[in-house]
Structure 1
Amino acid sequence: MTDVDILIVGGGPAGSSLAWALRDSDLRIAVMDKREFPRDKVCAGWVTPAVVNALAIDLDDYRDGGRTLQPISGFRVSQLGQQQVETHYQDGPVSYGIRRREFDEYLLRRSGAELILGQAFKSMERDGDRWLINGATRASLVIGAGGHFCPVARRIGAKPGSSEKAVTAQEIEFEMNEEQKAGCHAEPEVPELFFTPDLKGYGWIFRKGDYLNVGLGREDNHRLSEHVQAFCDSLRESGRLDFDIADKFQGHAYLLYPHALRQVVDEGVLLIGDAAGLAYPQSGEGIRPAIESALLASGVIRDAAGDYSREKLQPYQQMLEERFGERQPAPSLLERLPPGVKRRLASRLMQTHWFTRKVVIDRWFLQSHQPPLQQPMPVSRNP
């Protein structure tokens, strides 16, 4: 029998960031994941300087390990079938392309947590005032960090695939051979984004050195594979690629923050990252909100001082709303427009440099209006 203070279920960026943020807390922390690491993860795979700074990542150390770190200095944006609008930034990288199998393992190994890898979460039962997980691990607090289908989230009421409106995506990342490298005309420093005419999603092509990442996500999964195939065909027709992508795309689902109604705290339970439904609504990015949710949770956990009741954990819910806004805000003016008017307006705006830079890239994708999150510190207490 293993006894820990905190068991984090899920070894992705949310789970590892929480363990890292509590590394000096004297709490015994373990991370459980059904997969061994490194493992592949469906994701476009880029992080902003805000993530690098929040986690105090030494980029030289990261590169020295032979990991992919692709600086991003611009973007090409368009609606499918329209001329691309290019944006460049002169003051250094605005993001970095990473491979999730490398990035996630790096964060997990440096977190300082005990690792329980290759073991799936199967059961969770009350054992006095603690939890008994899989009949083998006792914990005072269980953290759900297992993504959209997190079993801990299910345990406290989440119902993925039924009442929830999830975004679905398909993506592939592979190392190109010499012929493919010669036939790939995407620039590594400039990812390309292609919004669908119905405004329900977007596709991307992103070269990271010798690796290529291609994918498409939509707010509905109706005929998703057909949309993905049409997107790949368009990449060939437009001259971005001179070869067909033969390998199978992998699927992924996640909740956008305004659509998520999940309970995020319960008695001795707290959800972070995609398990809590935190992806940014316009870009679908989940890495930064996952990491920020972990940092917010770390402050609440420190302040709880071992009392992980729902009441003591409830401030976390309030912190999420302060950071990310209301869960179901009133529709914006653009959202209230009739679909046909909205599509025509978006089509025109997507062809302007101002809108693609100031709104699509700076606000939606880089979240440059959002100040960096400072890691919460514990509230001082009298000895």
Structure 2
Amino acid sequence: MSVRTSGRAPGQRGELDADVIVVGAGPAGSTTAYYLARSGLTTLVLEKARFPREKVCGDGLTPRAVKQLLAMGVDINAPGWVRNRGLRVIGGGIRLELDWPELASYPDFGLVRTRKDFDRILADHAVRGGATVLQGVNVVGPVIDERSGHIVGVRARHDDGGGDEVVYRSRLVVAADGNSSRLSIAMGLHKRPDRPMGVAVRTYYTSPRHDDDYLESWLELWDGDELLPGYGWIFGVGDGTANVGLGLLNTSAAFQHIDYRDLLRRWVATMPEEWGFVEENMTGPIRGAALPMGFNRQPHYTRGLVLVGDAGGMINPFNGEGIAYAMETGKIAAEVVVQALGRATAAQRERVLRTYPGILKEMFGGYFTLGRLFVQLIGRPGVMRFATRHGLPHPRVMRFLLKLLANLTDRRGDATDRIVNALSKVTPPA
């Protein structure tokens, strides 16, 4: 990966280090950087960790994410990519296998790839597209132009630089620094309390379940006698291990009092012994992370700062999927930035950049609002129990729900596509 060690002392002025600085080399940051660099803009990505690095995730990629990988030219036929046919849903004593829908807009298969590999692959792809990626660079704050109040760079520390701050300057900065997004907070952008949050915990087990044609989702998570809003998963990684975890929503009254790691241990203890989900087969610790959903940090553009991926809360409330939306918003952001920086005056550039939040709301706002209503409903144990008991026995209903929850439709598709699209369109974005 390309590495550079240039930088200035705080306050020192000079030429720009890049047209655009991208903070974070996760899926959102690397996708943004790839498209920016391919368009001819000098692009600098600053990543605080060094690859390979851990990220808490189910490692499952729906056809929506696969479409973005194909658009970037990522070789998904290379070793290490595991294909799946659809989703296996288990609950209420029923086991149902749902193939991914056959659509013109999306491929009919999903993938599994560990985040340790996946993020590195995308970062390498950004480099091949022309971006510069610096690892081990922790961004500690913005550089603000005193006259305009706009961000014009970042202050950072290299992990091999003795702790001294350096400054990187640019025409525009993209925050792709995840859920915590310290850069966004430093610019005054805080999380909205009216948006749902989730928690995911996962680990890996050496298991014969490592090779499966379906992603597997368990819809009944019990904490004693209480049915929790969320699901457990078993995703075969194809390398002798399975990613096993669970995701929970904060719409339950019990959310603040649950020991998630203990809940995962208790859940896997109910699995068949031959699957091998026992402590001695764990290949790493149980790790957890927050899931920011439904545009929980806004606006997505302000004063020279563009938000992409988890930094802007761009996780689907219906199913907790974030990678597809990280990549999609990265591509959209890059397209807007390219158009903006091609304008002749600051006022013209600002006018273009301010369209970015509206584009996101038009594409995802109504759907995410539906998702917020959905998670509020399933936060009521009676609703969750009713949905599991009466929805799962009906494959046609479940196929409709798969399209809705995974956001997989054609614009001019069948009747279920038209229903999902109409619901998203008539629901007001917020």
Deviations 1:78-135 (A, max 9, x none): 23x6332223469785211112122211111121211121111112121466234234
Matched residue type, 2:232: G
Matched residue type, 2:50: E
Partners of 1:172 and 1:249 within 8 A in 2: yes
Q: Percent identity?
A: 26
Q: What is the aligned counterpart of 1:189 among 213, 230, 234?
A: 213
Partners of 1:371 and 1:38 in 2: CA distance: 38
Partners of 1:38 and 1:5 in 2: CA distance: 27
> Secondary structure at the residue paired with 1:36?
coil
Q: What is the aligned counterpart of 2:234 among 191, 195, 205?
A: 205
> Secondary structure at the residue paired with 1:44?
coil
**CA distance 1:356–1:234, change in 2 (3 Å):** farther
> Secondary structure at the residue paired with 1:23?
helix
Deviations 1:158-204 (A, max 9, x none): 44598864211111236x3xxx4xxx346521121012353511110
**CA distance 1:104–1:371, change in 2 (3 Å):** farther
Partners of 1:234 and 1:340 in 2: CA distance: 21
> Secondary structure at the residue paired with 2:231?
strand
Aligned pairs (5 A) from 1:189-338: 189-196=213-220, 198-210=227-239, 211-220=241-250, 221=255, 222-223=257-258, 224-236=260-272, 240-241=275-276, 243-244=278-279, 245-246=281-282, 247-257=284-294, 260-305=296-341, 307=346, 311-326=351-366, 328=369
> Secondary structure at the residue paired with 1:6?
strand
Q: TM-score, normalised by structure 2?
A: 0.74
Partners of 1:133 and 1:338 in 2: CA distance: 42
**CA distance 1:96–1:133, change in 2 (3 Å):** same
Q: TM-score, normalised by structure 1?
A: 0.82
Provide the residue aligned with 2:117 in structure 1: 102
Partners of 1:115 and 1:331 in 2: CA distance: 36
Does 2:105 match 1:76? no
Query: Post-superposition shift, 1:294?
Result: 1.0
Provide the residue aligned with 1:339 in structure 2: 380
Provide the residue aligned with 2:203 in structure 1: 172
Partners of 2:378 and 2:236 in 1: CA distance: 36
Partners of 2:33 and 2:131 within 8 A in 1: yes
Matched residue type, 2:96: V
Does 2:61 match 1:43? no
> Secondary structure at the residue paired with 1:120?
strand
Query: Post-superposition shift, 1:335?
Result: 5.6
Alignment root-mean-square deviation, CA: 3.1
Query: Post-superposition shift, 1:266?
Result: 1.1
Partners of 2:176 and 2:308 within 8 A in 1: yes
Provide the residue aligned with 1:381 in structure 2: none
Deviations 1:262-292 (A, max 9, x none): 3221111010001000111111000111111
Partners of 2:334 and 2:89 in 1: CA distance: 37
Query: Post-superposition shift, 1:345?
Result: 2.2
Partners of 1:171 and 1:78 in 2: CA distance: 18
**CA distance 1:132–1:101, change in 2 (3 Å):** closer
Matched residue type, 1:131: G
> Secondary structure at the residue paired with 1:18?
helix
> Secondary structure at the residue paired with 2:203?
strand
- The structure 1 segments of at least 4 consecutive aligned residues displaced by more than 6 Å after TM superposition are 161-164
Aligned length: 357
Partners of 2:43 and 2:132 within 8 A in 1: yes
Matched residue type, 1:294: G
Q: What is the aligned counterpart of 2:408 among 361, 368, 375?
A: 368
> Secondary structure at the residue paired with 1:357?
helix
Bigger Cα displacement from structure 2, 275-284 vs 86-95: 86-95
Does 2:400 match 1:358? yes
Query: Post-superposition shift, 1:19?
Result: 1.1
Partners of 2:268 and 2:277 within 8 A in 1: no
Query: Post-superposition shift, 1:142?
Result: 1.1
Matched residue type, 2:201: Q
Provide the residue aligned with 1:21 in structure 2: 35
**CA distance 1:234–1:343, change in 2 (3 Å):** same
Partners of 1:336 and 1:270 in 2: CA distance: 32
> Secondary structure at the residue paired with 2:271?
helix
> Secondary structure at the residue paired with 2:38?
coil
**CA distance 1:336–1:15, change in 2 (3 Å):** closer
